[in-house]
Amino acid sequence: MASSKRPKQPPRWDLSDLYAHIADPAVVRDQARIEKQLKRFLATYRNAITKDVTTKTLAALLQDYSNIIAGVRKLVAYARLEFSTHTRDDKHGAFLQNISTWSTAVDTQLLFVDLQISRLPKKVLARFADDQGLQDSHHYLDIQVAWRPHRLSEREEKILYDKSLTGLWALQRIYDLDHVEREYVVTVGKKTEHMHDAHVLSLLHSPKPERRKAAAEAVGKRNEESIKQSALLYNTVVYDYIMNAKYRNFERPEDMRHLENEVTREAVEALLSEVRASRPIVHKHYKLKKKLLDLPTLHEYDKYAPMNATAKTYTWEQARELVVSSFRNFSEEFGAIAEEFFDKGWIDGPPQKGKRSGAFCYFVTPDLHPYVLMNFKGTTNDVMTLAHELGHGIHAYLARKQSLLHFDWPLTTAETASIFGEMIVFDQLLEQLPPKQKLTLVMHKLESIFASAHRQIAMFEFERAVFDIRKEREVSVEEFKKLWVKGQKDLFGSGVKISKNEEHWWSMIPHLVHYPFYVYAYAFGELLTLSLYTMYKNEGDVFVKKYMEFLAAGGSKSPDDLLRAFDIDWSQQSFWKQGVQEIEQLVQTAQELTK
């Protein structure tokens, strides 16, 4: 039974584990302490990473290096978390910029560590690979070796770092400020409202067609107003990434992201091939949805329309109970960790003016807990998002036994715990609901999967096409429009009509600006997790033990090594077909429920 002390409304998070406020004297003190540590570190180790370096020296160097990085990460995390809920406040914006500038100055002075380690003779690195004195750094050392052909000189690396403050990072901040401050004019009948993006996007899930249409028109009109600026900004971001990839000796720009993700081009192409081949499932789903909604035409703004006019909503306490109990059914430890997020102020729940839209989980260092940001309005989608972000949080929580150098993992496996969390909650809901609500839930889940897998691959293909043009010249507004619309039509087939409102939706995708070629990782995570979840249903407790060990390993091994326990080879298209078969089963379930 719920405790009376629990908040009835979504709580604000408590960042006091980091700092009290942006004017906290501890911020300046910590910066001064880190600068002293850095000065000692440079004096001690600047010329120590040679072919004669001993295990003892390298282990001490990496520990001191980690201590400095941990202090910097804490400051950066606080600045970013505070800004995410105060994006319209100039003081918070200036604080974030100041901390970013300062942290970049520290980072540039530490560049020599990765550079010099990556250039150590192979004999020396091979010796360290089996040395127990460097056990907390083994995979970190492997990564430095993998990046060896793509490192620049220290001076060149510093120039790129410094220029990023007035280049790429500045563009990303301009993009964020523009989208946070945007207002959308939504007119339904005689009523006109001014909304921020989180609110207007939520209307696309409205049971009322006129509200969905009005929201799409408002977004389309606002995008059109600034499309020239958006095109110029994105052209510049793309060319920046192309230049970086060129200077770093990558054959294709996307290969730089593949290396960061610790995945081969072959594995990505296998995924792409299977997702493309499975698009008829998406077409089939939306034809069914059009029939069930009894619409003459299913427009793009109807994609997320609920299956009944009285869509179920949840209070914050109901959402909490559902997620925690579902997680406990999977693993008592899973549920207990999730409960800590609710009880200890690690979640910022309510939407508010000036708060960034969407949701995320931010983890800092092994000795500090993760933080979750939500914009909770009580929809089923919000409940699933809560489960998703808490899955990330549990992943980071379990991996806290790892060293700082192993307290990070590539995007290809980062989405596994989050999507797994969604599946756990989905299955529990499916057991509880009556048939009509089950159909609504299954249709919603399918659309969530399509958004994570098929839509993300469509965006990846859009990126590829844009990059191919941008290598030669700037991409025009008309070309952006045509590439985006083609991708959407290929994705949804004849089941969904793509209107003018959709033409410039690409300008609304922050990942395209912040993380080029990031998006395929969502499809990786979705199909990988669907396969893992099938294993869980077949193996039960045996799987749970392996899965918890997989999460707790953090970034201490490569994804290939981590997944070896599950006998997975993701370079084969046949593996990805297993995940697609789970989607096909859900489509079949939806069709059966319609009867």
* Three-state DSSP string of 3-35: CCCCCCCCCCCCCCCCCCCCCCHHHHHHHHHHH
Nearest CA among 92, 17, 85 for reference residue 348: 85
What is the model's pTM? 0.87
Alpha carbon distance 414, 391 (integer Å): 10
Per-residue pLDDT of the chain (595 residues; tens, 9 = 90+): 344 466 678 999 999 999 999 999 999 999 999 999 999 999 999 999 999 999 999 999 999 999 999 999 999 999 999 999 998 899 999 999 999 989 989 998 999 999 999 999 988 888 888 788 899 999 999 999 999 999 999 899 888 888 887 888 889 989 988 887 888 999 998 899 998 887 888 899 888 999 999 999 999 999 999 999 999 999 999 999 999 999 999 999 999 999 999 999 999 999 999 999 999 999 999 999 999 999 999 999 999 988 876 667 899 999 999 999 999 999 999 999 999 999 999 999 999 988 988 899 999 999 999 999 999 999 888 999 999 999 999 999 999 999 999 999 998 888 899 999 999 999 999 888 888 888 888 998 999 999 999 999 999 999 999 999 999 999 999 999 999 999 999 999 998 999 999 999 999 999 999 999 999 999 998 999 999 999 999 999 999 999 999 999 999 999 999 998 999 888 888 899 989 999 999 999 999 988 7
Asked whether the beta carbons of 83 and 93 are under 8 A apart, the reply is yes
Structure tokens at 302: 């109807």
Residue showing tokens 């002293």: 36
Structure tokens at 54: 């001993």
Nearest CA among 426, 434, 457 for reference residue 525: 457
Alpha carbon distance 542, 381 (integer Å): 30
pLDDT tens digits, one per residue of 288-311: 999 999 999 999 999 998 887 666
Alpha helical stretches, state H, 493-519: 510-514
CA 365 distance to own-chain centroid: 18
**What's the pLDDT at 415?**
87
- Give every CB contact of residue 265 below 8 A, 6+ residues apart in sequence: 252, 255, 258
Structure tokens at 553: 């390993």
- Give every CB contact of residue 193 below 8 A, 6+ residues apart in sequence: 185, 186, 187
**What's the pLDDT at 143?**
94
Alpha helical stretches, state H, 167-264: 168-181, 197-202, 209-225, 227-247, 253-260
CB atoms within 10 A of CB 225: 12
Structure tokens at 129: 């690979």
Output Rg (C-alpha) for the chain, integer angstroms: 24
DSSP secondary structure letter of residue 504: T
Nearest CA among 177, 199, 176 for reference residue 186: 199
Is residue 70 exposed (0-12), middle (13-18) or buried (19+ Cβ within 10 Å)? middle
DSSP secondary structure letter of residue 120: S
Alpha carbon distance 253, 245 (integer Å): 5
Nearest CA among 528, 538, 537, 534 for reference residue 569: 528
Nearest CA among 37, 14, 17, 71 for reference residue 365: 71
**What's the pLDDT at 1?**
38
Alpha carbon distance 286, 398 (integer Å): 39
Alpha carbon distance 232, 21 (integer Å): 36
Alpha carbon distance 413, 521 (integer Å): 8
